[in-house]
Amino acid sequence: MTKPIVRLAREDDREAVLSFCQMLPGNKKDYIPLVWDKWIVEQKSQIFVATSDDIPVAMERVLFLSDSEAWREGLRVDSRYRNQGLSKILDLNINQYLLSKNLKVSRTMILSDNQIMANILSKKGYKKGEIMITMKPIRLLLIISG
């Protein structure tokens, strides 16, 4: 993989992004193909992609909730490029972007059984929220950063 570059997603990234957003851990079907067309034109959000040779290999979406808060979702790394620090590179770039916009609070939500993400977020300083939303058969856990 060439040195990854983080940039905003473009409409023509659709095929490359959706190619690695098909399945989630636990053999769950990914929802990104259902929301991509809406997300890419949404004014109050940005999709960031990490690219190799300008081809997306990771993505994350940021939605602007208010002047100070952002909602982050849809973190995905192409399975061929996991454990190479891509999610960290994406995170660093997104954090810099958010700080430049004075957005100091990030919120996100993960499936309660996604222990890998729970560990990653906890290491980044996210704190678990007190709200547990139950949506049968899937439980969702709300996580709020400090």
Ligand X SMILES: CC(C)(COP(=O)(O)OP(=O)(O)OC[C@H]1O[C@@H](n2cnc3c(N)ncnc32)[C@H](O)[C@@H]1OP(=O)(O)O)[C@@H](O)C(=O)NCCC(=O)NCCS
Structural tokens at position 17: 């992004």
Secondary structure in 3-state letters for the chain: CCCCEEEECCHHHHHHHHHCCCEECCCEECCHHHHHHHHCCCCCEEEEEEEECCEEEEEEEEEECCCCEEEEEEEEECHHHCCCCHHHHHHHHHHHHHHHCCCCEEEEEEECCCHHHHHHHHHHCEEEEEEEEEECCEEEEEEEEC
- CB-wise, 84 or 95, nearer to ligand X? 84
- CB-wise, 85 or 129, nearer to ligand X? 85
Residues at the interface with ligand X (CB under 6 A) = 24-25, 75-77, 82-88, 110, 114, 116-117, 120, 123
Query: Shortest Cβ distance from residue 117 to ligand X (Å)?
Result: 5
Query: Shortest Cβ distance from residue 138 to ligand X (Å)?
Result: 12
- CB-wise, 95 or 114, nearer to ligand X? 114
- CB-wise, 69 or 73, nearer to ligand X? 73
Query: Shortest Cβ distance from residue 113 to ligand X (Å)?
Result: 11
Query: Shortest Cβ distance from residue 111 to ligand X (Å)?
Result: 7
